[in-house]
A and B are shown apart, each in its own frame.
Chain A
């Protein structure tokens, strides 16, 4: 396409048609690969910050009572761990980074449909990230509401919720624009002859994800604005004293934030669907079923938000219906897992780091998914709600799923991006450490959660000490 005989062959990073040099060649580039890589580096940077905050939480919980920080600091630390990890790491991780790098290549397109919008979306992400970090230091202290910003506490706390929630609003915009770009790209810029039935499964998963980004994200944007309206103007939408409804906030929040889980997990599933057939040296089993299940997850996943609210005081009818709907999501998820296993069956498997991460994904995601069913049944959920069982469940899904998917993608596409091979021994060792550490960290949390250890508590009864300590070592 590009490499006529007289011109040098462009490298992977080539920003065709631009003569910018140095940093500007990256920050002002509309090239999808450069934007994708910038996302990747930002995500990894934020991931390190998030991990440090997580480590601080674990160290604080190493023993009962005060260990390394005050209770107020602890509240701020777990809030920012959540905000950074969710909005700045896992949501943009695979779609924004690898989606940008890989999608146009897989479609045979020169770039995404709207390259400038893509760059704008990255800048919005940067702005959001900056605001999230500013909220740590500016105003009356870092926000202490938890990443969910639940009312009524978030309306009245004097900490810097306004800045943090503005960050969420802006990051949401970035996500919507990326989704819009991907939908248009997949519809309009497929190479001639690339029919829908020939699309790669990674592209299919990004397509399903993009729809959720476009349809669900505006709701968190509006909700964020409403919180600011409550705080600044005292509108009273969520305040019963003024005729408002605090549960309405939870609805609005989870209408986005539950589908957001699928923004996180679907692209990771796409990555796994790419990796497994390569390392099993076999065509994927059930292509159509996997592609269709991506759309099913995106659709069904949008109908189940209120399962986060079983104990909120909403109506029993709603509890019943949303519990039933929640179980429907298990079907397409299981379709994927069974098809991956069926692809591996009688394959000529060679074990390489990307496959290890993909297998890690299947194992950890299955645990996360299964425990999700325990939480999805209204009866058991009442027992374990807001305990460490929930914390462990979503870390298995989000870190065990998306995190491992991201690392798998990084290894799988490493050579394509950098033109050389990583050190396989180091990569395999890293995977083993991660696998052992991960399970050691989160498995005990299931146990102490079942025993009744509530999440987000600064202090705990001595009986939970062993579990917390094993977890911190992990």
Chain B
């Protein structure tokens, strides 16, 4: 099996991602103090998703993988989203 050389992330990018993650963490905490009603959950989840996306793309190197690998990860998340989403056909309409 051929092994492509691993991409090495520059310190600059790594630091930028770290800063973004810290900033988003700060935003998460700040937003939780504001009463948005139902949307508190939505905003919190969106922020968490963005943060995990940063981790997966940069720290877990998905950005530098080939398209097959990207497709795999996408399918996994899609199926997970379906599993959770479809459960709401029940929960949301009871």
Contact = CB atoms under 8 A, between A and B. Distances in A.
A316 B1 contact: no
Interface in B47-94: 68, 75-76, 79-80, 82-83, 86-87, 89-94
A318 B88 CA distance: 8
A269 interface: no
A309 B86 CA distance: 13
Given A188-B1, A219-B83, A315 B76 contact: no
A4 interface: no
Size range of the chain B interface in the assembly: 10 to 19
Contact of B90 (A188, A215, A303, A314): A314
A322 B68 contact: no
Contact of B79 (A215, A306, A309, A316): A215
A317 B93 contact: yes
A316 B89 CA distance: 9
A317 B89 contact: yes
Contacts of A430: none
Contact of B94 (A215, A302, A314, A322): A314
Contacts of B80: 215
Contact of A318 (B68, B82, B83, B89): B89
Given A215-B79, A302-B79, A187 B93 contact: no
A215 B79 CA distance: 8
Interface string A318-329: 100110000000
A255 interface: yes
Interface of B: 1, 68, 75-76, 79-80, 82-83, 86-87, 89-94
**9 shortest interchain CB distances as A-B pairs:** A315-B93, A317-B93, A318-B90, A318-B89, A314-B90, A315-B94, A315-B90, A215-B79, A321-B89
Interface of A: 187-189, 211, 215, 219, 247-248, 251, 255, 302-303, 306, 309, 314-318, 321-322
